[in-house]
Structure 1
Amino acid sequence: MSDVIEQAVAALNDKLGGSAFDGTAKFVIEGEGAIMLDASGARSGDEVADVTMTADADTFRDILAGNMNPTAAFMSGRLKIDGDMGAAMRLAPALS
């Protein structure tokens, strides 16, 4: 597992604070790998998910650090979303 993925998994689990996510989401960090998020929390993985969000490492780092709003990242084209937009919207507050 890359350092970027490892750091992102830890940051996601911290942000969620033990809250369960109703559904499955996949975060694809271009050139690094993928993270799965479900009721158990975040972990490295690349399975089928309700929603897949794809961006470069800098964009994910900015979102997780609170320097970029996930909605703004999507609207500017820095974050691509494929699948259940409702699931993505439920995740936005946890990422901000």
Structure 2
Amino acid sequence: MLNDIAERINEGLAGQGFDGSLKFDCGKDGVLVLADNRASTTDRETDCTIRLSAENLKALLSGKLNPMTGVMMGKLKVSGNPAVAMKLGSLLK
């Protein structure tokens, strides 16, 4: 599932830059890393990590889960540099 999401993000990133690195840590389901203007499922150190379930990742990326609501409800936890996570919003539109 994360590989499919990574492929769709890579298509969406075409021609757009993403400054910084961001990891979605889905626990036992794996990780999705945005770095060097591409998405991959290879784990690495990043500027910011968002911990959430794979289902909540799908909801977040599809716009069904508001990031601020997700944080307040405990559905996602942000560590590291939150400014990097804020840049993600412009890519999701």
Asked if TM exceeds 0.5, the reply is: yes
Q: Tell me, in whole angstroms, the C-alpha distance in 2 between the residues paired with 1:17 and 1:71.
A: 27
- Mind listing any 5+ residue stretches in structure 2 that lack a counterpart? none
Q: Structure 2 vs 1, CA of residues 17 and 26 (structure 1 numbering), >3 Å: closer, same or farther?
A: same
Which segments of structure 1 move beyond 4 Å, counting only runs of 4 or more? none
Find 1:49's aligned residue among 43, 46, 50: 46
Identity level (%): 30
TM-superposed CA distance for 1:17, in Å, is 4.0
Correspondence list, 1:83-94, <5 A:
83-94=80-91
Query: CA contact under 8 A between 1:51 and 1:83: conserved in structure 2?
Result: yes
Offset from partner CA, 1:38-75 (integer Å, 9 cap, x none):
23311111110000111001100111222112222122
1:20 matched residue in structure 2: 17
Query: CA contact under 8 A between 1:18 and 1:41: conserved in structure 2?
Result: no
1:35 matched residue in structure 2: 32
With structure 1 as the length reference, what TM-score do the two structures score?
A: 0.83
With structure 2 as the length reference, what TM-score do the two structures score?
A: 0.85
- Aligned CA RMSD, in angstroms, stands at 1.7
- Mind listing any 5+ residue stretches in structure 1 that lack a counterpart? none
Q: Tell me, in whole angstroms, the C-alpha distance in 2 between the residues paired with 1:5 and 1:58.
A: 10
Q: Tell me, in whole angstroms, the C-alpha distance in 1 between the residues paired with 2:5 and 2:26.
A: 9
* Bigger mean CA offset, 52-61 vs 13-22: 13-22
Q: Tell me, in whole angstroms, the C-alpha distance in 2 between the residues paired with 1:62 and 1:87.
A: 19
